[in-house]
Structures are given as structure tokens and as C-alpha cells.
A and B are shown apart, each in its own frame.
Chain A
Amino acid sequence: MSPTLIDLSYLVAAVLFILGLKGMTRPKTAVRGNLYGALGMLIAVVATLVNQEVVGYSLILAGVIVGSLIGAYIAITVKMEGMPEMVALLNGLGGAGSILVAGAEFWRQVDEQGIDARIATALSGIIGAVTLSGSLLAFVKLAEYKFVRALKPLDGQQFYNAILGGFLLLMTLTMVFNPNQLVFWAIVFVAFILGYMLTIPIGGADMPVVIALLNSYSGLAAAATGFVLENNVLIIAGSLVGASGLILTKVMCDAMNRSLLAVLFGTVGPKDDGPSADEVYKTVKATSAEEVAMMLEVASRVVIVPGYGMAVAQAQHAVRDLTNLLLSRDIVVEFGIHPVAGRMPGHMNVLLAEADISYDLLKEMDEINSTMEQTDVCLVIGANDTVNPDARNNPNSPIAGMPIVNADKARTCVVIKRSLSPGYAQIPNPLFAAENALMLFADGKQAVVDIINALKEG
């Protein structure tokens, strides 16, 4: 096939990627959008196979078979609860692929590459390696491997990061004037450490931001590799992903009322000189599953606000049973989903969809807040900072200004939580002690099952 036809096929692939991503922004067209993306990828790969430079097919075939088997296996077997880890891991593999491609091209063309290709090679190595180590760390953090707890940020982290950054700049310059294999792999090594250092201080509620940002990086790494190969389809696909990842990152940051820089460099908000936890929790009232069941029985409108605790307790199936039971008794049930609830963008939606809860019931924060005053019972399951009214009421709170789900405005608010331990922001939550709030101290799943049983008996 002539180079022109190959380029035209790449153009078709790029158009399919654009249509695919556009489709992914609407529930009705999302499935088709994803298929467009896959079709675009197929076209791009097949067009590459007939490129005259490609003469040996054994390595390609072996690689594609091995990769497809592994990819299909993990995609089919992964549980919906494991989705954040899965996304993190796949991001990292994309980054690693970009490093290797840039490295292979550099190995072959080291003497023929111009200055621009050398810089692009260095950038591929840097972005790819930061994506790889950042994603691997995010993966082990999300999968909650025990050894992760031993990993702590160093004192004066910013200083070391600046030194690593300086190193990378120097080595990139070396790549321009004296390109050699050692420098390239040294760049990859240093960037790998930098990716680790940048990700290690970030955890908990900031995790969705990191995942979205790494998603963006994986695209940029592919785009940088596109510059190395002077290949437009890599540049286009890579920059599309870079842009979409950046938009998600911004959505996540806005949902926490924090700037991207503050998340990345761990700057904390205004200090809270407010009352201590003991002071705040003086008026906490505990309740029982039976009492909650009685309240639900006479309610006409119930809102459920899930948080990361629901994912940990794997309570989504029990929550579905409760939802169906309430719906069968003509009680209106809706879910209020905070954009950063969970460990990745859209985490709660995925979990609830997995439990077969119709997405018509899942409402965005603004929509649910406008109906909160007409809500009889608000059930908060495993959420904390995302329902903390201090964000609205206390300008000195570290989370001041963060948009929250106004669970406190419901007539009665029941909080299912194992203890009064603080959330990721490490601050007490006045909601738990509010006059209209009751605490149900229990494991999320067990508590919901108990409520269901009480409802059925009562």
C-alpha cells in the first residue's frame, strides 16, 4: 500500500477517534463511541502493518497475541470494585509503551535524528516514565497493598523534586548535543523516580485528580512519541486524550474547590482553629436499624448519599435491595453523587450501575441539592467530607468553599458510619452532631441489610 493510502487510513482513524470521544460524552451514544474508537485503532494498526518498513511479522504477531490475551483476561475478570486500579494500571502501560517505542527508534536512528526528534525522544522518555511510575504507585495505593503504608514522602520533597527536574533538563540538553543510549535511559530512570515522588504525597480524596491527570499524561506521552516518529495519528490521538484527561482533572479540582497546583504540591487550605472533635460531637445521637426502618416507612422521599465507605464495605448490592424495597412501597428514592466521591472520577456511578441501579436515579450534586429540603430522610453511607456543612458555613475550614451535598438540609439525616473517625480532610464533621442527624454506627453493608430486615418485619 502506498504511503499516501496509509496516511489517508490514519486520517480516517483520527476522525473515528474524535467521533468516538464525542460519543462518549452522552449516555445514549457512549457504547457506539467506544466502538468507533476501537474501529479507529483497528484501522490504524492494519494500515501500519502494510507499511513497507514492516517486513517481519513474527514479533508483531507474538506481541499482539500475548497482549490481547492478557488485556482481554483482565478486562473480563476485573470486578467493578477494582476499576480504579485497572484504569491506573492501563494508564501506566500506555506510558511504558511510549518509552519503549521512542527508545527503539532512538536505538536505530540515533545518528540520523535531528534536534527536534532528539528533544521529542527525551520528552517521550520523561512523560512516559512519569506516567508509568505514577500509575504503578497509584495502582498499588488503590489496590491497598500493605507495603504501601511504609512508603512516605520525604521531608523537603519539593527540593528533591526540583533537583530531579534540573537533572532532567540537563540530560535533555545532553540529548540535543551528544545523544547516546546511556543518556536516554538515564532520563527514563530519573523521570521514573520523579513520577514516584510526585505521586507519593497524594492520596485519599485527591486520588480522582491523580487518576485523571495520569490519564492525560498517558495521552501526552503518545503524542510525544508521535513527534519522534513524525506520525500524525499518534500526535492527534495522544493530544485528544491529553485534552480529555485535562478536562476531567479540572472537573475534579473544581469539585474540591482546589487548584491543580495545590493538589500536586500538597498545599493545604486555610487552617481550622475551630472546636475540637470532642466539642463538635457533644450532641451526637446514635440510632438503630429498627428506628431507621420506621422513619423510612413513613417517608415519601429518600435520598441516598454514597461515599468511599460504601465501596470499601461493598455495600452497593445491599443498597440496591433497599432501593428496590423502598421503590416497591411507592417511596421516591434518589442518589446524590458528589463528583469526587470515591477513588476515581465516576467511581460511585460505576459501582451503583454494577449493582443494577438505574442511572435515572443517580443525580448530580446541584440537582439533588435543590430537592434536599423536600427530602424526608437522607441516608449518608460512608461519606464524610463531601457532606460536611463546614464547607458552606465556616470560612476558616480547610475545606471552605468546597461544593458539598447538602445532606444536613433534609428533614432527617441518617449517617451510616463505623465510627466518628475523620475523613480525608482530617476535620470533625458538624453534620454528625446536627439536631436533625442520627448516627447508625455499623459496617455499611451490615447496616443496610439490618434496615432491610427491619423494614420487612415491620
Chain B
Amino acid sequence: MFLLAEDLTTKAADPDTSSAFVEAAKSHPFVAGLTVFALAVFVGFEIITKIPPTLHTPLMSGSNAISGITLVGAVLAAGAHNHDIASYLGFLAVVLATINVVGGFLVTHRMLQKFQR
């Protein structure tokens, strides 16, 4: 234990390795993503605890439109500088995700208008 602590202090004193420590203290992007994922799932469960049956379909189509967020990734893929296969995959993804987003939000709006009365 002592040895280890001593080891750490000497290393921390050394400017080259201290930056490596800072690196190690930052969480790994995958773990950070997993943290966000787990918390967002809980938020999702919390905000949608009780939902009246009238809104089952609009909630589904509306949340479906939100899952079209993959459009963000599609834009990144389609907008990169090189025109390669990936940009065409990206283009196709932009088309499909936009149908998902625009169709989803619009149809939900249409449906909810009918519920307004």
C-alpha cells in the first residue's frame, strides 16, 4: 500500500505522467454514454407513468417521430467531405429519417387536432 502511494506521488509529480492521470480520470466515452443511456431510460419511465388510452396512439406516433433523431447521424454521414459509398448511405438515411420525423410529427399533430374538440 505504502509503496503504491509513494509510487503515485512520484508519478504525479512528474509532469509527463500527470497528464496521463487526468486522462485516466476522465470517463471512457462508452461508459459516459452508458450512464446517459441508463439515466434517460429512467427519466422515460418516470415521465410516462400513467397515460390515458386516448393518447396511446399519439404517444406512439409522436415518440416514433422522436426516434427519427437518427437523422442527426444521417446528416453527419451525408455531409462529410468525401463522396464515397458512406455518403450515399448517409443520403438514403437522411431520406428515411426525414420521412420518419416529418411524417411522425405531422400525423401526430393531425390526430391530436381531432382530440381537441
Contact = CB atoms under 8 A, between A and B. Distances in A.
Contact of A104 (B33, B40, B90): B90
Interface in A76-110: 76, 78, 80, 83, 86-87, 90-91, 93-94, 96-98, 100-105, 107-108
A235 interface: yes
B26 interface: no
Interface in A184-238: 211-212, 215, 218-219, 221-223, 225-238
Given A215-B63, A233-B69, A104 B89 contact: yes
Given A20-B66, A37-B66, A104-B89, A59 B94 contact: yes
Contact of B96 (A93, A105, A243): A93
Contacts, number: 385
A27 B110 contact: no
Contacts of A107: 84-86, 89
Interface secondary structure of B, over-half rule: helix
Interface residues of B, number: 82
Nearest to B45: A243
Contact of B57 (A22, A38, A83): A83
A20 B62 contact: yes
A56 B81 contact: yes
Given A75-B107, A229-B76, A87 B61 contact: yes
A157 B94 CA distance: 35
B73 A90 contact: no
A18 B47 contact: yes
Given A71-B103, A74-B103, A244-B48, A24 B59 contact: yes
B84 A108 contact: yes
A212 B48 CA distance: 14
A57 interface: yes
Nearest to B80: A53
A168 interface: no
B115 interface: yes
Interface stretch (A43-51, A258-266, A326-334): A43-51
B12 interface: no
Contact of B98 (A37, A48, A68): A68
A34 B108 contact: yes
Interface in B43-91: 43-45, 47-81, 83-91
A248 interface: yes
B112 A37 contact: no
Given A104-B86, A108-B86, A350-B57, A54 B75 contact: yes
A100 B76 CA distance: 12
Nearest to B51: A25
Residue among A41, A219, A232, A347 with the most chain B CB within 10 A?
A41
B61 A239 contact: no
A63 B78 contact: yes
Contacts of A75: 102-104, 106-107, 110
B8 interface: no
B90 A59 contact: yes
Interface string A2-23: 0000000000001001101110
13 contacts: A21-B44, A25-B52, A26-B52, A45-B75, A56-B83, A60-B91, A63-B74, A103-B86, A117-B30, A346-B53, A346-B58, A350-B57, A353-B111
Given A75-B106, A94-B97, 6 more contacts: A21-B59, A41-B66, A54-B76, A102-B73, A103-B86, A239-B44
